[in-house]
Amino acid sequence: MAKHEQAQPLPAAVFHILLALRDGEQHGYALMHRVEELTDGAVRMGPGTLYGAIKRMLADGLIEETDERPDPALDDQRRRYYRIAAAGERACAAEVQRMETLLRNARESRPNLGHA
Amino acid sequence: MSAGERGYRALLFLYPRRFRREYRDPMVQLYRDSRRDRASWPRLASDVVTSVPRQHKEAFRTMSTQGKLLTASVIITIAIVAFMAVGGALFALALMLVLAWTLARLLRERDAQLSSGFWWKLTLSGVGVFAAGVLIFAGPWPQSWRDAIPGELGWWSGMFIFCTAIVMIVGGLLSGVVQFASRRRLSH
């Protein structure tokens, strides 16, 4: 079992990358942009943060590096592509579930939450 | 290669070697792509400032017990020498205690075991190296012998001997603290 398949929250960077990779295989730059889109521009990862998280996620088996190129003719060979692994899909789904539960419970106790 | 890229490549030397070896090329590639988007230097700098300590912490976490002890001892020695040079001996001592406590906690978390007697052998060896250094540099040697050694060589070899001695003594004492803490834990 991967380390993140536990009931504890995923680190924000890990969750953002997993969400971004659910759209398909991506390289670092595309991932950075997708995370920015997903968070409405609130999160823009730098190279150190992005590859630090990727290193951890590869070690935890949440993502995999892939040799396949969507379009080898147009692509730079130095770019590395990543895809979400089965454990990553499960961890992402569990995190979404955890957030939904948290939000539902918070709204039940405070119905006006988020509508200030 | 632009001056900015050269600067960014230089900043990458702040990361642990293993991480750098593995991710330098894609990071530089990402830097180039980001610069095309006019990513600002303050943003890149803040990324380096936040991710470098995280990667060093990660590298330290995955080190062997001996590697951790050696790294901690070298860091403590550098801190002691640096702070003593500016008169901050008490601060250096406080730093040493914090590092010793952190190291002991990390080792305890990983259930690390050290061979018994390791700590006092290392400490005694350090004391021996220190005594040898004192004997070499402050012994009753004839003036002609002293004059035969170039001043710079004498200074650097003295620094090397005394720093090695401090690393060994601090490393030995830290190992003793760790061993004492793990014995106490086992007996409870």
Tens of pLDDT along B2-47? Answer: 777 888 888 889 998 888 998 888 888 888 887 776 667 777 888 8
For residue A49, give the nearest of B15, B29, B47 by CB distance: B47
In the block, residue with structure tokens 């002293």: B146
Q: Where are the domains of chain B?
A: 3-61, 65-187
Is ipTM strictly over 0.95?
no
How large is the average pLDDT for residues B177-186? Answer: 66
Residues of chain A with pLDDT under 70: 1-7, 69-78, 114-116
**How many other C-beta atoms lie within 10 A of the C-beta of residue B111?**
8
Does the beta-carbon distance from A51 to B29 stay under 8 Å? no
pLDDT of residue A116: 54
**How many other C-beta atoms lie within 10 A of the C-beta of residue B127?**
14
Architecture of the A12-109 domain: Orthogonal Bundle (1.10)
pLDDT of residue A1: 45
Tens of pLDDT along B49-105? Answer: 888 988 888 888 877 777 788 888 888 888 777 777 765 656 666 666 776 677 666
pTM: 0.60
Distance CA B57, CA B36 (A): 32
**How many other C-beta atoms lie within 10 A of the C-beta of residue B34?**
22
Which residues does chain A have within 8 Å of residue B51's beta carbon, measured at their own beta carbons?
46, 48-49, 52
Geometric angle at alpha carbon A49, from B110 and A99, rounded to 5°: 80
> How many helices (H) and strands (E) in chain B?
8, 0
Of the residues B19, B28, B29, B30, the best mutation for testing chain A's interface (the one with the most A CB atoms within 10 Å of its CB) is: B30
Question: C-alpha B119: how far from its chain's center?
Answer: 18
Which residues does chain B have within 8 Å of residue A50's beta carbon, measured at their own beta carbons?
30
